[in-house]
Copies of this chain bind each other. A is one copy, B any other.
Amino acid sequence: MSKTKNKSLRIGLVGCGVVGGGVAEALLSKDKPWNNVPDSPNLELVRVADINWPASAKLGNGIVVPKSLRTSSIDDIISDPTIDTVIELIGGTGIAQDVIIRAIKAGKNVVTANKALLAKHGKKLFLLAGRAKREIAFEAAVAGGIPILSAIRAGLSANKIETIYGILNGTTNFILTRMTETGCTFSSALLEAQRLGFAEADPTLDIQGYDAAHKIQLLTALALGINVDMKNIPVRGIQDVSDIDISYAKQLGCKIKLIASAKITRAGIEIEVAPTLISNAHQLASVNNEINAVFVEGNMVGQQIFVGKGAGRYPTASAVISDCLELASGGGRKYVDCMNNAKSMLTVPKEKYVSEFYLRISASDKPGVLGTVTGVLGKEGISIKSCVQLESNEVGAPVPIALMTHNTSLSKIEAVKKRIDELSVIKAKTVFFSVIK
């Protein structure tokens, strides 16, 4: 047992919006569950910076940020020598980056939920923190309230982890769930998600898979010890998932989920974000709505699954505060040490990325179309596991052909897609998804 006395933190919070407000509320509440045990560290909120006072001062449960704590100047936090910990919750890669760099240079530890910033510019920031012997803690950046980074750094610390994947974006999972449950179109599910606050006004980062890509980049560095540049992660979002795909997946006993995955193979690191068909028997298939889930495979522990809310005010604030408590008491492998220790590895070439695939082809309703299309697959040496040509909704409309292949390579699938899309009978771009059994 470490003999260190738990120390208290003096915290400066930058950003008092959705998540920041939740953090402030918990830190200012009289009922702090973490204080139930003797000698627990004291988390003292010393200053809160936001540009939206007094509106941001009103938190939940009747708690208000006291005037004496409010500031609109980040300098008030950076230049306060009594503040040892800066929580950055403004998001984005501009000012946020500046705040983190200045905080570290001023000798402070940082807690952040900023996945986009860390996935894109983390290498530089973690190096800076490592040299300054400071910590950048980011439990809240990946899968919200699920303590997956804590599990990797502490609970599963005995394990070599070579596979990690999951549902890391709540917005897309909500949309896919609604499409599955109601049979509605992508755009009406997106509208519902926006109305309920599960999707932002501009949902591009979520829908196109980049948010999930940021998270799998961070998980891959922390859990697998492999640093992959964002530009080397193939990202396919859910923008092309149609109600036809959902309905065909149902017939196959599958669900469609946006899966972010990373696996160390002999051919390199296999990492991607992609819409994926998952058998209903798989535990990820029943993770619905805005819920996230992470699969981790450790060499000793086998397969572990963590399920919970991946976003939202209080779940994310829960992760931020657990990081603060850990900073105060020590414990777990340090984030910065792990991130700086991550090695480079070549990504698996497309020829060696092998999976079953689902394809949906939109063709003219003409005799011989099915033969032409399947002929292209045959020439490429791809064998077909099952195939359905569906009826078109109206006369003259393109007919969707949905098929599942046996194992083949991504390079062959891309080649086939290209060749099919060049055929004169093809009415819309061919869509393909990966498959997990």
Contacts and interface: CB of A to CB of B under 8 A. Distances in A.
Interface in A205-252: 225
A320 B157 CA distance: 10
Contacts of A159: 33, 318
A232 to B, nearest CB: 22
A398 interface: no
A154 B158 contact: no
A389 interface: no
A113 to B, nearest CB: 14
Nearest to A334: B1
Contacts of A322: 154-158
A327 B337 CA distance: 19
A332 B147 CA distance: 13
Interface residues of A, number: 71
B146 A299 contact: no
A-side binding surface: helix, strand, loop or mixed?
mixed
A332 B133 CA distance: 21
Nearest to A303: B308
Given A307-B283, A308-B305, A314-B302, A331 B321 contact: no
A40 interface: yes
A173 to B, nearest CB: 14
B318 A301 contact: yes
B325 A158 contact: yes
Contacts of A334: 1, 37
Interface string A273-289: 00000000101001100
A36 interface: yes
A315 interface: yes
B158 A147 contact: no
A267 interface: no
Contact of A321 (B133, B157, B283, B286): B157
Interface string A145-157: 1110011001111
Interface in A8-60: 22, 26, 31, 33-34, 36-40
A170 interface: no
Nearest to A320: B158
A412 interface: no
This chain: how many copies in the complex? 2
Contact of A154 (B2, B161, B326): B326
Q: Which of A33, A135, A331 has the most CB of B within 10 A?
A: A331
A338 interface: yes
A161 B4 CA distance: 27
Nearest to A23: B158
A287 to B, nearest CB: 8
A333 B307 CA distance: 23
A109 B301 CA distance: 24
A281 B181 CA distance: 13
A304 interface: yes
Contacts of A2: 2, 4, 7, 327-331
17 contacts: A1-B135, A1-B334, A2-B327, A33-B159, A33-B161, A33-B299, A38-B341, A39-B337, A145-B300, A150-B155, A151-B155, A155-B155, A156-B322, A158-B317, A301-B318, A305-B307, A330-B330
Interface of A: 1-4, 7, 22, 26, 31, 33-34, 36-40, 109, 133-135, 139, 145-147, 150-151, 154-161, 225, 281, 283, 286-287, 298-309, 314-315, 317-322, 325-334, 337-338, 341
Given A33-B160, A329-B330, 5 more contacts: A1-B334, A33-B159, A300-B314, A300-B318, A331-B332
